Structure 1
Amino acid sequence: MSKLYPFMATQTRNKIRAIREVKGYSQDFMAEKMNISQKTYSRIESGNVKLDIDRLKQISDLLEVEPSALLDNETNVFNYYDKVNNSGTFYNVSSEEYINHLTAEIEYLKEQNDRLMRLLESKA
């Protein structure tokens, strides 16, 4: 018999929901793949259904992340879009690494914005 978690931490529920949304998966899709109803899946994400290890494993497999990444309070899971290779990958990183990643992304976007503004000005 699988170990049951009497509740799922808000952070875990938020990670599951965020990754599902980033991947473009609906609750219906997740429920179908898990062979449960959409209502049951919704109750999992809202924390109203006890999460057992088997379901946690199903969810992590569907989302392509390690189960520990969903449970670990010290780990942020985010989707990194590689501009060079035109592909996305999920990474598990510390909060500091995540902040560094977001800072680099902001700098990249600022550079792109400046470039576009210069192009617009040259066309005027």
Structure 2
Amino acid sequence: MQFALIPQKVSGVLANISAVRRSKGYSEEYMADIMNMPQDTYTGIEAGNIALTLQNVIEIAFIFQIDTASLLTLDIPKLPILRLVI
């Protein structure tokens, strides 16, 4: 069973994922490879064109070595100190 995130929350979560990915120097291709999916699928998820599931968020948080709750609740792009730590 897959659970989709609440739509109004998704844009903030996607911004967090993108910010952390870029701060770590990971490409979308790298993320897709690690997550065992086509690059266009990962790109679609991050762009909001393909549903972001809770399973995706948990896996992405694991790859980033960041707490899943941080991806879901923080406004990472607006926290420059946090971006340096990630």
TM-score range, shorter chain: 0.7 to 0.9
Note if contact 1:13-1:45 (Cα within 8 Å) is conserved in structure 2. Answer: yes
Q: Name the one with the larger helix percent.
A: 2
What amino acid is aligned across from residue 44 of structure 1 in structure 2?
I
Distance 1:55 1:11 in 2: 15
Query: Hey, which of these two has a bigger chunk of strand by percent?
Result: 1
Where does structure 2 lack aligned partners over 5 or more consecutive residues?
77-81
Q: Give percent identity, aligned residues only.
A: 29
Report 1:88-103 matches (<5 A). Answer: 89-90=85-86
SS in 2 for 1:39: helix
- C-alpha distance in 1 between matches for 2:55 and 2:69: 13
In structure 1, the gaps of 5 or more residues are 81-88, 91-124
1:49 aligns with 2:53: no
1:68 aligns with 2:72: no
What number of residue pairs does the alignment pair up? 80
Is the CA contact (8 Å cut-off) linking 2:12 and 2:75 kept in structure 1?
no
For 2:71, give the aligned amino acid.
Answer: L
How high is the TM-score relative to the length of structure 2?
Answer: 0.80
Match of 1:5 in 2: 5
Query: When the two structures are superposed, what TM-score results if normalisation uses the length of structure 1?
Result: 0.58
Q: Which residue of 2 aligns with 1:79?
A: 83
* Aligned mates of 1:65, 1:2 — CA distance in 2: 22
User: Relative CO higher for 1 or 2, CA cutoff 8 Å, sep ≥ 6?
Assistant: 2
Moved over 6 A (4+): none
Q: String of CA shifts for 1:58-111, please: whole Å, max 9, x gaps.
A: 111111111111111xx243233xxxxxxxx33xxxxxxxxxxxxxxxxxxxxx
What is the Cα deviation at residue 17 of structure 1? Answer: 0.6
